[in-house]
Amino acid sequence: MSILFGCVVGFVAWFLARYLLAGLYTVDQNERAVKTIFGRAERIPGVTTLEDPMSEFLKGDERERYVYPQVRVIGPGGPYFRWPWERIYKISIATQTVNMALDPENPEANQGGAMLDAVTKDQLNIGLTGQIRFQVSEKNLYAYLFGVKRPFVHVMGYFISVLRERIANFEAPAAPDLTALPASTDPLAADSGLVSGVSINDLRKNLRDLNEHMERECQSSVARYGISLDASLITGIDPPAEVESALAAINTAHNHVSSDISLAQASADQRIVQSRRAVEIQTLNAHAEVEPIAALAKQLTELKLSGPDAIGVYIRNVRLNLYARARQAFIPMAEEER
């Protein structure tokens, strides 16, 4: 009897330790959790990802394929409790940075994850370096946990395919018409078309536009795979070794031309400023000469209104003042004195 009682007590103790104490869990600050009950995620009834603004970046046919239910997300805190038939999936939502050349399925690919190969429109095999910042989106944890087996692999493959397609079809913006430029326009922006047509130069000059394009194209990754790409940071575009010297010569010539244009523009701007300053000085001198005449005319008009003899008296006083300051005076003689 005592043996049976000991077995019962041992079973109860094991059950409490195995299913009650072990059922307690916590969620860290940078984590989110999803609970499944008998293998089915706990969902919000009648709500899917199509009701969320993240689905706005999906195309028409993609909206039918990437429809995921919204699950209940367990926030940081605890302790929480789960029953034995429930399972907790914890996901880190911290922002992570990886090399854009990383191949999760084959670490030896792309020169060991150091440089990504791509082909330009003029059939040059170039190397790309940079980073990708991403984080798991808590708005679509169902897609990350249950939608695809390895969501990060899918996101990297999607990013690389979009990037290679963009580079293969990239065309620099059309060079501005020099005849239509205003006088104050910087010619360095205009002469940038001197080396257009060389795909590597076009890509390097428009690196910011390329990064912004990648960010726009990858905005649908949240609705697709539950991963948000925060930024695409393409930092380097290296040409093939056989064309590097020719490209350097082209860029050197372009830099010389840009320098000459800058010096010419600076000289022209300096002359324009000097001419404007001279015009301003002459205008001020003219105003200085006109102002006393205008004031005198105003005074004479007021004197004329005060009486018919006022002008004569004023002229006599002015003449006397001039006589007082003059060393010699020539006075015409009257006819009867001759």
Report the C-alpha gap between 128 and 77 in whole angstroms.
Answer: 42
DSSP state letters, 286-334: HHHHHHHHHHHHHHHHHHHHH-TTHHHHHHHHHHHHHHHH-S----PPP
Tokens of 175: 């060079």
- What's the pLDDT at 264? 84
DSSP state letters, 116-159: EEEE-TTS-EEEEEEEEEEEE-GGGHHIIIII-S-HHHHHHHHH
Pick from 86-100, 111-125, 235-249, 271-285: least confident: 235-249
- What's the pLDDT at 173? 65
CA-atom Rg of the chain in angstroms: 42
Whole-number Cα distances in Å, 159 to 162, 211, 224, 275 = 5, 12, 12, 56
HSE-up (13 A, CA, CB side) for residue 105: 9
Tokens of 26: 């916590």
Cβ–Cβ under 8 Å, residues 196 and 172: yes
Interval 209-218: pLDDT, tens: 888 888 888 8
**How many Cβ atoms sit within 10 Å of the Cβ of residue 269?**
12
Query: Is pLDDT larger for residue 288 or for residue 255?
Result: 288
- What's the pLDDT at 36? 92
Q: Supply the pTM of this predicted model.
A: 0.60
Whole-number Cα distances in Å, 174 to 70, 205, 252, 267 = 46, 13, 22, 28
Report the C-alpha gap between 192 and 295 in whole angstroms.
Answer: 57
Tokens of 317: 């006083």
Q: Which residues contact 269 (CB under 8 A, 6 or more apart)?
A: none
**Which CATH code is given to the segment(s) 2-177+188-245?**
3.30.479.30
Pick from 111-125, 163-177, 273-287: least confident: 163-177
Tell me how many degrees the CA angle 111-123-103 measures, rounded to the nearest 5: 25
